[in-house]
Chains A and B, each alone.
Chain A
Amino acid sequence: MEEASTGSDSDYSSTWVSWFLSSKGNEYFCEVDEDFILDRFNLTGLNNEVANYPQALDLITDSLDDDIQDELRGSLDVQARLLYGLIHARWIVTARGLTKMLEKYKRADFGRCPRVLCASQPLLPVGLTDIPYEKSVKLYCGRCEDLYSPKSSRHGSIDGAYFGTTFPHLLFLVYPTLIPLKDGELPSNPIKESSTDSRSRRRPREDTEAGVAAEGGAEGISTANVALKAERYRPRIYGFQVNEIAKLQRWQEAIRDRQIARLEALEDKTP
């Protein structure tokens, strides 16, 4: 996926947005609906974050005056990227934006979890802060619920604020049936393109994906004890567990069991 760039900076494209999206390194971004960009309400406050805001906005909406273009061209492009990124962060936490990112997630456009026991679980981009210029984008794995750095420096230099801290968690909140199971490698076909789909189909009480996307709820699913299925790596020396690590792992699993007990008690109280 890392190398699946669809074009280079010099490609001719009809619109600024399609040019931006097809540029190498921008594979994590999805297309923001033009309607969304054109609705000034959605851009509230961004004029303070982006220099030459009016021109930058004109540029990304392909309505930039040709005269201005020559004078500002260089710096304007940088501002247009920033503006698009900040709009993008707002867009992907809308209902329509979520579905666009969902498509990319299903294609594993954001790469796959490097953790062996996550069995190539597709990842989701996330920011560590919503403030631009602070932290680069990270990748969230819904299976191990942890954060990873992008493999490629091309993606490692994208601003995390263009995706925001909320996005992946909102996605799983809205589509709880898409929460990955916690179990580890499948015995067969560990790396297959359709792994997400096949796995979510194995989920008990599973709706069809379309149905899920439409209604956005999953009342029947309990996730209280899903962690019990999680596999973990156990270090061994000549077949024997390493004392101190084994001790830590027992402690961690006791923490896990305590949480499960807590959640199950909670479920009993509120059926």
Chain B
Amino acid sequence: MASRQKSPATDAQQPPGEDEVASGNGEGDEIMEEAEEQEDGYTSSTPTSTLTWISWFCSLPGHEYFCEVTEDFIEDDFNLTGLNAMVPFWKEAMEMVLDVEPEDEDTSKIPDVSIVESSAEMLYGLVHQRYILTRAGLQAMADKYESGVFGSCPRVYCVGCNVVPCGRVDIPGSDTVKLFCPNCNDIFVPPSSRFQGVDGAFFGTTFAHLFFQTYRELSPAPFWRAPSAGGSPLSPRSVSGSNGSRASPFNNPNPHGGQKRAAGYVYVPRIYGFKVSERAKSGPRMQWLRLRPETPEELDMVDWRGRWINGDDGYDDDDEEEEEDRQMEDFDPEAAEGEDDDDEEEEEEDEAVGTTPMKGQKSGKQAGSDPLTRTPGPVRSVRTSPTASEGPRSLDDKPLIDLSVYTLPSFGQSFGEGKVRTVRQWAPRTDWAGTAEV
């Protein structure tokens, strides 16, 4: 846990709300760490009598995920049921958290103020775990969520979906805080090392999921249909941005389910433009982990034991693979931009993937050497006219790859559907670059 050498009474320094500045960008470890250095810098500024212990605690580096528990909540004994057995120096810790002057001056039985401090921290953390399950606590966390305090999912195809803190156990002392992404339903290690000292139990196992049950409009639905390439396949760029503001309503027929349109693309590995077939030993084995059915009805085709209803698996090799291919079509924001009912999603995708380099510029670090925003002009035309398909010399002596592992048919199939994305990704990248010009 972040160390606090000084007692809060004399060391109150930072206005509440600083936490939001500190971790606004979940992706930029760098940015966060800079903020951390700053905060470390002014540990000894003037004491502010108006700053409560709770505000101070929540403003410490690494404590950005905590919300401020109201004193009312802490003062209600009912909310503390069972906690006094887990916290040594309960009374003193309580006084510290609530900024109450000690009743008796006999502090001789307390060996060290730092012990009370760690008790206060434990007390606050355990109360916090309970508080964020209340209506007021959920609302406080929702405010932080929407302002991006918890950061966003590091997974590329979650396109910047915001995450919430969570614990893997409810008992303190066993694991650090993690981040839950409602889009991929997975948990991640916080991007900055300063969260490695924060106990996951202070957020608990329930909060993240109660949160998304409570705020269904923030919860991505379990089904997703790829935007069909309805627009002109020829010039996806020409419509880029023009339809961005046209948001269409999304509805999950399950009233208890997530009401947000999911970000559903799944990564498709390719070698020289060809999908790596599942028949290869190194072929995809984990796409199921991120896959969603296209419709909610498909979810009902599997029973509670995880078996397909309607008899056997009933799969038919080719059909299956094709179907999955369709769902897992590679992700490319531009290609789908003309699509009517997915504009909102596309916008987000653009932001997350397309502008990543911009973040580097914003932080002022990389502006000089950022290659992605410079001279985009003539390059593309060369690359998009793949003609020569001669292999690289360096693969020279023996071929590194066995061509039999590529899924060639799906390539043609996608063409037939006129998917722009596939066209742009298309195969003979074997040419490396435009060897045409030689």
Contact = CB atoms under 8 A, between A and B. Distances in A.
How many of chain A's residues touch chain B, expressed as a range?
Answer: 35 or more
Given A173-B271, A173-B405, A165 B435 contact: no
A131 B383 contact: yes
Contacts of B285: 145, 182, 223, 226-227, 259
Contacts of B365: 25, 153-154
Interface range on chain B (Cβ under 8 Å from partner): 35 or more
A156 B393 contact: no
A106 interface: no
A78 interface: yes
A176 B205 contact: no
Contacts of A153: 27-28, 30-31, 359-360, 362-363, 365-366
B433 A46 contact: yes
A152 B371 CA distance: 16
Contacts of A239: 205
Contacts of A265: 317
A173 B274 CA distance: 13
Nearest to A245: B185
B281 A218 contact: yes
A149 B89 CA distance: 44
A95 B353 contact: no
B392 interface: yes
B394 A91 contact: yes
B134 interface: no
Interface stretch (A36-44, A54-62, A63-71, A200-208): A36-44
Interface string A251-263: 1111111110111
B315 A227 contact: no
Nearest to B273: A165
Nearest to B324: A255
A85 B405 CA distance: 28
B306 A257 contact: yes
A133 B374 CA distance: 7
Given A169-B269, A169-B270, A244-B257, A236 B205 contact: yes
Nearest to A216: B400
A22 to B, nearest CB: 14
Contacts of B354: 135
Given A114-B154, A165-B429, A262-B320, A243 B256 contact: yes
Interface stretch (B68-76, B138-146, B290-298): B290-298
Given A147-B155, A252-B289, A133 B281 contact: no
A114 B193 CA distance: 12
CB-CB nearest 3 A-B residue pairs: A157-B360, A94-B394, A248-B222
22 contacts: A78-B371, A94-B394, A94-B400, A96-B394, A135-B356, A135-B372, A145-B284, A147-B155, A147-B267, A152-B28, A156-B356, A165-B270, A169-B269, A170-B271, A173-B405, A235-B208, A251-B301, A255-B291, A256-B289, A257-B313, A262-B320, A262-B321
